[in-house]
Structure 1
């Protein structure tokens, strides 16, 4: 199958302002992710306010596979956001739109309540999308699928250069398919 021929998702090529690192459960990153996922603003959008043990297992599962890379985004050396960078071809999103083999997806959660509403998400999303396109020549678009009810997330993706390409129905939500194309001809149509 085609999805077996592509490698795991890369980490984005980042500049000086932001850094993205793989989660390191041994360094306390699981506790950070667990804390953020239980913050009301994240729990509402992600529906993953799980116990620490479940988050530790989930992060280990992702680190051991080639579908998704769990990451922390750091600003000025401090962790600010949790990211999951994934290969669409290996994701449940794949059958819902005409994806390309190199498409990459991103899930983002700004962790601390004091960090939301300050434009950090918009800046991070733009930097990550640019970094993923730079990291993988086969990637012609970066996608995301926020819930259509999450207007703050959709605004942040739009401000970061993503375009709303349509809606997709997933088991747990109706999502806005947000696409950051490498070129205008890379927007999906269906």
Structure 2
């Protein structure tokens, strides 16, 4: 069964990477299930153990230029968003940064029931959140060059390709989206 239109109701909260307490599933356990799912292959954590995810997100939580958030849909965990300063993390020295650049990663949880347009709605919510900060002028992303579905999705919200870059873990397609490009791509769109 596939629903045809995703409802609204998106919000974000900081990810808490600390191990869970008895009777409570931790954010790290939640994210571990998401990143090790076969449909999350481009996240490159398919073989990660729970301890690996805890360690990774503890490092992000401690980093002054990198943040992770759990995205909620109607108050239920539905996606992961990472925000980073690309002059300090991920893209440092790999591209010509502009003032007001912010880097972003997002991962939608594997759905129990697929909802047509849900991933696009998540990306809209992520971009809206990032551009809510008036200092942000442009969002940059660096997905794997072979991840064609995300390239199409990124283009649908206004991203333009800058070019390929070589990162230690992958060949990436660097793309950027200004506030104006996002607004132009999403104004009047069926959201």
TM range (shorter): 0.7 to 0.9
Change (3 A) 1:97 1:115: farther
**Which segments of structure 1 move beyond 6 Å, counting only runs of 4 or more?**
none
Query: Which has more helix, going by share of residues?
Result: 1
Size of the aligned set, in residue pairs, is 167
Report the equivalent of 1:104.
102
**Structure number with bigger Rg:** 2
SS in 1 for 2:151: helix
Normalization by structure 2: what TM-score? 0.79
Unaligned runs of 5+ in 1: 1-15, 185-190
Q: Deviations over 1:32-51 (max 9, x none)?
A: 00111110111x10111311
**Higher deviation after alignment, 146-155 or 92-101:** 92-101
SS in 1 for 2:135: coil
From 10, 15, 22, the counterpart of 1:18: 10
**Higher-RCO chain (CA-CA 8 Å, sequence separation at least 6):** 1
Report the equivalent of 1:154.
151
From 52, 55, 66, the counterpart of 1:54: 52
Describe how 1:48-127 pairs up with structure 2 within 5 A. 48-49=45-46, 50-114=48-112, 118-127=116-125
Unaligned runs of 5+ in 2: 1-7, 21-25, 182-191
Change (3 A) 1:122 1:168: same
